[in-house]
Structure 1
């Protein structure tokens, strides 16, 4: 049985087997959650991301997919990088956003992770409306078969926390 919990705070301060990074396709760091994870996790994460780019992910990680690296200096074993879609009114990309959560849990299962901390993927700089991002995230993790024991959504502010709390009912 998987437990879903909510925390308001900084995902880089979480103790978990795996921390999910809302990455960009380059895997080389960026703003928001991505930049924070790379800064706090240190150079080991970037080094492994560069190896991924030099190999199988030469063109970058596709939207909706996930891949793991070391967690470097974070209080975790792994960082699972996933690339969320940019929000677009004219195109329904919700399946790509749901795929980020499913693929991250698939990678977590392959790694043997029992606790996974997720941010609100795509709800920051990628512009996804928070209430809809929360709905997709919660519905997807509830519907995904996984051996992960605790899925923790780590929300940066009260607005995000409230949106996710509303979905958990």
Structure 2
């Protein structure tokens, strides 16, 4: 995979014009705090209704809904692991979030996708290690296949610096 497919954007994921943005969701796919709350607020109440119809999502898996009022056509919901010190399968579960989101995007023929820093907020995953897992998982999964534009969208300076080092 060529590195020019991977981009870093520091800012609001709900403003990105991509085929899909990824929601760092909870197992029930309910509106929550952080990125999840911002996505639900920007998409409108139809997103919560669509999520209810999906019946939840296990950690590491992914589900898709329309983007409703978002500039993105779709929202891919994935449930990251809660950090418990690193000895409870958290890294493998986080890898699965990225891999399963990309596979779902490819199945739907999507060309572009934006990921937040999954599990690094209230779920407590260390930002630098989460960035390493995100970038390596995406690089291994994508190859030359779709989507051909992948944006890592982060909000804070610490996460941005971690991704900047990995993508340089």
Q: TM-score range by the shorter chain?
A: over 0.9
User: What does residue 56 of structure 1 align with?
Assistant: none
User: What does residue 50 of structure 2 align with?
Assistant: 48
Q: 1:74 aligns with which of 46, 70, 73?
A: 70
In the alignment, does 2:168 pair up with 1:166? no
Alignment of 1:14-163 (within 5 A): 14-53=16-55, 60-89=56-85, 90-145=87-142, 146-163=145-162
What is the SS of the residue equivalent to 1:5? strand
Deviation at 1:132, TM superposition (A): 0.2
**Whole-angstrom CA distance in 1 between matches of 2:49 and 2:66:** 9
Deviation at 1:91, TM superposition (A): 2.5
- Residue correspondences, number: 163
Segments of 5+ residues of structure 2 without an aligned counterpart are: none
Give the ranges of 4+ consecutive aligned residues of structure 1 lying more than 6 Å apart after TM superposition: none
TM-score under structure 2 normalisation? Answer: 0.94
TM-score under structure 1 normalisation? Answer: 0.93
What is the SS of the residue equivalent to 1:144? helix
Deviation at 1:92, TM superposition (A): 3.8
**Whole-angstrom CA distance in 1 between matches of 2:10 and 2:90:** 26
Offset from partner CA, 1:101-154 (integer Å, 9 cap, x none): 000001101111101010000011100000000000000000003410100001
What is the SS of the residue equivalent to 1:137? helix
Question: What is the alpha-carbon root mean square deviation over aligned residues?
Answer: 1.1
Offset from partner CA, 1:58-93 (integer Å, 9 cap, x none): xx2100000000101000110000000001114241
**Whole-angstrom CA distance in 2 between matches of 1:87 and 1:78:** 27
